[in-house]
Amino acid sequence: MSRPFRFGVQAFSADSAAEWRDLARGAEDLGYSCFHLADHYMGPGAAMKASSHPPQNLASLPAMAVAAAVTESILIGARVMCVDYHQPVVLAKSLATIDLLSDGRLEAGFGAGWVTAEYAAMGLAMDRPGVRIDRMIEHVQLARSFFAGEELDISGEHVQVHDMAAVPASVQADGPRIMIGGGSPRVLRTAGELADIVSINFDNSDGTIGARGLGSGTAAGTASKVDWIREGAGDRFDDLEIEIGAYFTAVTDNAQPTLEAMAGAFGMPPEELARHPHALIGSVSEICDTLEQRRGEYGISYVTIGAANMEAFAPVVAALAGT
């Protein structure tokens, strides 16, 4: 049986407090399930240009707290927190505090980090992928224990916590649902094993946004990613929720010109972009049909769109959310 559809909004920036409050409230009013940030810190400059990453002018944790404070029902999250940017206990306690002060509306996302230029710009050593993934695993294990309010006694390679109880415990009965996101085989197998929500992303293991990552997100590439999730999950695969970012979204009754323009910019045929699981281009009814088809093919039932498309995409949310 298919999971019901959920939809999220991801916002990177706001020019004022009022704009940020309006974005969060707007997502809630339009029926979206979760209001997300990403977790990036570099400002405009050579590093951002080298990574091809969009600007994010807000630090994730305080922005999540403000979004929670001005809304009543929408979940608050990040796709995803880069664990290398945070001390483990400080991150776990900060997330648990947002969960408490939002009356249990945290959706906790974790990732292993990937933007090479951001690490360099921030003066952080960037370990090889296997080490970063191991560190993420230990962060997730700590978060589970912290949300449960346990006495913490952890002696991992990357996370060491002793002689303290986790407070505040989550106000959610089983703790916040945990998302793990990425696009490489090991990350997705790990997500299948440990997460409640698996966020399928590009394979950005070369450290930038570019043709390689985009190419990894094709229909065939996404099918492989679902296979990796399944390998990690085993018997728990049907319990997972699979999420994807619709990075290329256009609600239009005349899709072909938009497909041709976007596909030309990306160097791929329009028909391939139309099938690309990170793209949703067409009328409301066409997008609804596409989402139904992809849920059947890949198991994807949770879709996150950018804040710029929040209002245009709202009729899709109204038609499919919860079905």
Q: Where are the domains of the chain?
A: 6-320
pLDDT of residue 51: 87
DSSP label of 3: P
pLDDT of residue 206: 77
Distance CA 94, CA 177 (A): 16
pLDDT of residue 242: 98
pLDDT of residue 58: 96
CA 143 to chain centre: 17
| Main-chain dihedrals φ then ψ at residue 10, nearest 5 degrees | -115, 125
Q: Show the tokens assigned to 255.
A: 């899709």
Residues 243, 300 contacting (CB under 8 angstroms): yes
pLDDT of residue 200: 97
Element (H, E) at 10: strand 6-10
Omega into 251 within 30° of 0, i.e. cis? no
Report the Cα–Cα distance between both ends of the chain, in Å, rounded: 12
pLDDT of residue 83: 98
Listed as ranges, residues in the chain with pLDDT below 70 are none
Alpha carbon separation from 92 to 37, 46, 290 (Å, rounded):
17, 32, 37
Q: What are the residue ranges of helices labelled H in the chain?
A: 17-29, 46-51, 60-69, 88-101, 116-122, 129-147, 185-194, 211-216, 219-233, 255-266, 270-275, 284-298, 310-320
Distance CA 115, CA 204 (A): 8
pLDDT of residue 26: 98
**Superfamily of domain 6-320 in the CATH hierarchy:** Luciferase-like domain (3.20.20.30)
Residues 209, 53 contacting (CB under 8 angstroms): yes
Distance CA 85, CA 121 (A): 12
197 forms beta bridges with: 179, 241
Element (H, E) at 302: strand 300-306
Distance CA 270, CA 10 (A): 25
Distance CA 3, CA 305 (A): 19
Q: Give the pairing type, strands 160-165 and 151-155.
A: antiparallel
pLDDT of residue 211: 77
